[in-house]
Structure 1
Amino acid sequence: MKLCTIGCGGHSSDVHGPAQQKAAREGAVHLVACCDLNETLAETYRARFGFERAYTDIQTMIDREAPDVLCLIVPTHVTSDLAVDILRQGIPLFLEKPPGLRTAELDRMRAAAHSGRVPNQVAFNRRYMPVVARTHDILEAHLPPEAVQQINYEMTRFDRRDADFSTTAIHAIDAVRFLARSPYHEVQISYREMPWMGGGVAAFTLDGTCESGTQVRINIQPIAGKTSEGACIHAAEHTLRLSLLGADGRQFQGYLEHWQKDRLAERFQATGDLIDRNGTFGEFQAFLDAVREGRIPRPGLDDCGQQMALMEALRRRLSRVDFAESRQDLLAPELIVSRLS
């Protein structure tokens, strides 16, 4: 299976390049070419991860290499246009989250994928972190979605003065929906603006319910004293506490405790290389396997409507999102939204 990748910057080099390299070493993929507008970045990426050739023009690379799959790891504001063009050429696509900046961009990508039935997957790596996957397995074994009472998720970062933190917060939004195993029904959002930290800097709290009845709370704190991320899930006779980050707040470690009837039923500690613990290799491997076996990769563009709607709501400072349509596969979810006064 021939792979080409677009985007050779810092995030791609730190996260996706090592996963691509490991997949190639295991014989899952052939790294034929990488592409970046910056020739130096493209050549450095090629040499570091073992690609055969480097390009600065996307279409030239596609025409010459005829890839079986393509990775798109580029700035969010250009993701949609590039993805639509690639999908219209019928090339299975693995793309970095978020899939665009607005739900309208997501709709364009979905339409392009649907027209040619092109496999696609969005890089929501939390789903493939061993600690999150194990939590999901425990929930599936013990608790139907409607039995889960609460999911509390917290994402804190140190000195992240992003003018738009919503593109990172979407990770938490997706992780909660994945663990809830149920679409969101309604979400209320409150904001703590911090203009003295920079334009657009704010903390967010999302309080909502899922169609299953599960109550959810997501706390997003970009300006905190420690980088951390984790969740606590409650149901009758069950509590699951999971930490996604290590003690230093920088290395994805993964730690889980499952308590049942006031006794520790299971303790889980993720092991392996960083790309195994943080889910980036797992998600990429799952994409390659799905394409090879003719299955639908998950999560695909069709699975991202609610996450994108809530991300956009954060950026627009909306106070409420009500998903009037609840079908998970809806192309363009109808929203009833309220703006902060």
Structure 2
Amino acid sequence: MPVRILGREGEILVVEPTRIGVVGCGGHAYRNVLPSVRQIPEAIMVAFCDLHRDKAELYARSLGTDAVAHEDVDEMLDQGGLDAVVVVVGFDDETGEPLYPPVVERILRRGVPVWLEKPPAADVSGVRRMAAAAAEGGTFAQVGFKKVFSPAVHRLGQLIAQPEFGPVTQYSYSYDVDMPAQIGNLRSPSGRRFLDDFVHVASVIDQLFGSPARVQTVRSPSGAGVVLNVHADGIVGTVNLANSRSGLAPVERLEIVGTGASASLENGAYLRYYPPGTRGPYGTSTSYLPPVTDQAPADLGPRVWEPEFSLGNLHGGSLFVQGYFHQMRAFVDAVRAGTPPERCGLDAAARVMAYLDALVGDFDSWRPVAGQPDVAHTHEVDEPQEFSCPDSGRAMVLKDGWNYVCRDCGRTRSGQSADAITCGAGVRT
């Protein structure tokens, strides 16, 4: 039945509502998840469930709703009238495992779509159980990999898909979390931190490059570590875990190298794109600016995007910069359309958790990622190119790793381009 609601401009709208129940009334839901839902006019929270009923009641009151409070998930579902459920719970006190699988499975089997916060499970088997429950109930779930939905990561994906970027060759991801001495030990504080944070990194990698096929972990006794990723299509990547950096430094940085172009994203918001170009020949160029040609206009150079905080725009708020709103918008749209989400469904969650599962084990050893093809790369040694000096006619020889020189007249040229540089007759270097 249509209801009257307020839109973002304070206008009165008449819409068919999407009625949402919320499971888990903790601080994270209060600060980040529920405010994002409230930015979607047609999404109406009609029920709150928590082990402490009084918290559920206070949630409803503080949000200014007449929602019903519950302390049991089945009781909330039995009441009926829910189009979807948002689940934001924590870790089991004894095992340290995320509580999502047993809670989410119950809801999915009742045929109700679920949005669940990350990490979705302790391992890929927990995700598979939820997928089986979704199939049984004829519904779907979306996992809260917010960074995949952030505007900057979305634009980064568009940039690297451009033909001028060329095939991605490598990436380097730096993130502020320590590598535990025993990955997968969720009774350990560092093990739980790693699971909670590394899913952010893993979900972005999966979205932009696909899952790695083979991985290796390297760890210092200090907790600093590196994850080495090899993808079946030849992409190589590193994840640098630097928990001892200054607390004033950016939390994360991602750099992607294509074939002649590159891009970087710092702190999830400051995006730079470096299109194909050159600053001129090495050693003799007299300007740091790219030369202007028919193919290289005067404005050729890096492009920079960053948030704007001076005006009262929504896009400057953390809910929008980090992707909280965008993921909830996508979930509500999927619920209203009755179709699984295009991003961050349980299929993506299974790939992410299979990647994390592969990190469990001894350091300094390569391990395959389940479900990914074998890596069988060949490596070819490059041979010197053949050039003749236009003045002497003599074959030019390799001068260093980049340039070739005529040993008669000293003329040099690049092996990477057609540029030739006359250094003067008789000059030898």
Per the TM superposition, whether the score is higher than 0.5 is yes
SS in 2 for 1:310: helix
The reply on whether 1:293 has 2:313 as its aligned counterpart is: no
2:324 is aligned to 280
1:295-334 residue pairs with structure 2 within 5 A?
295-297=339-341, 298-314=343-359, 319-323=365-369, 325-326=371-372
Equivalent residue letter for 1:214? I
Q: Which one has the bigger helix percentage? A: 1
The reply on whether 1:133 has 2:154 as its aligned counterpart is: yes
Deviation at residue 315 of structure 1 after TM alignment: 5.3
Distance 1:174 1:65 in 2: 33
SS in 1 for 2:213: strand
Structure 1: runs of 5+ lacking an equivalent: 195-201, 246-253, 328-333, 335-341
Q: Which one has the bigger strand percentage? A: 1
Distance 1:109 1:56 in 2: 22
2:214 is aligned to 186
The CA deviation string for residues 141-195 of structure 1, in whole angstroms up to 9 with x for no partner, is: 3368x8101111111159x964422221111011112121x3321111122344x
Equivalent pairs, count: 307
Distance 1:123 1:74 in 2: 12
Distance 1:289 1:152 in 2: 33
Gap change, CA 1:222 and 1:90, over 3 Å in 2: farther
Among 232, 248, 255, which residue is 1:232 paired with?
A: 255
Would you say the 8 A contact 2:215–2:358 is kept in 1? Answer: no
2:305 is aligned to 268
Among 21, 43, 51, which residue is 2:57 paired with?
A: 43
Would you say the 8 A contact 1:167–1:311 is kept in 2? Answer: no
Equivalent residue letter for 2:372? S
Gap change, CA 1:9 and 1:239, over 3 Å in 2: same
The reply on whether 1:11 has 2:28 as its aligned counterpart is: yes
Gap change, CA 1:218 and 1:238, over 3 Å in 2: same
SS in 2 for 1:305: helix
Higher relative contact order (CA 8 A, sep 6+): 1
Distance 1:269 1:154 in 2: 19
Distance 2:357 2:57 in 1: 35
1:57-136 residue pairs with structure 2 within 5 A?
57-76=72-91, 77-136=98-157
Distance 1:143 1:212 in 2: 19
1:147 is aligned to 167
Distance 1:116 1:11 in 2: 28
Higher Cα Rg, which structure: 2
Q: Provide the alpha-carbon RMSD of the alignment.
A: 2.4
TM-score scaled by length of structure 2: 0.66
Equivalent residue letter for 2:128? D
SS in 2 for 1:100: coil
Distance 1:56 1:231 in 2: 42
SS in 2 for 1:16: helix
Would you say the 8 A contact 1:37–1:57 is kept in 2? Answer: yes
Would you say the 8 A contact 2:216–2:359 is kept in 1? Answer: no
TM-score scaled by length of structure 1: 0.83
Deviation at residue 265 of structure 1 after TM alignment: 4.6
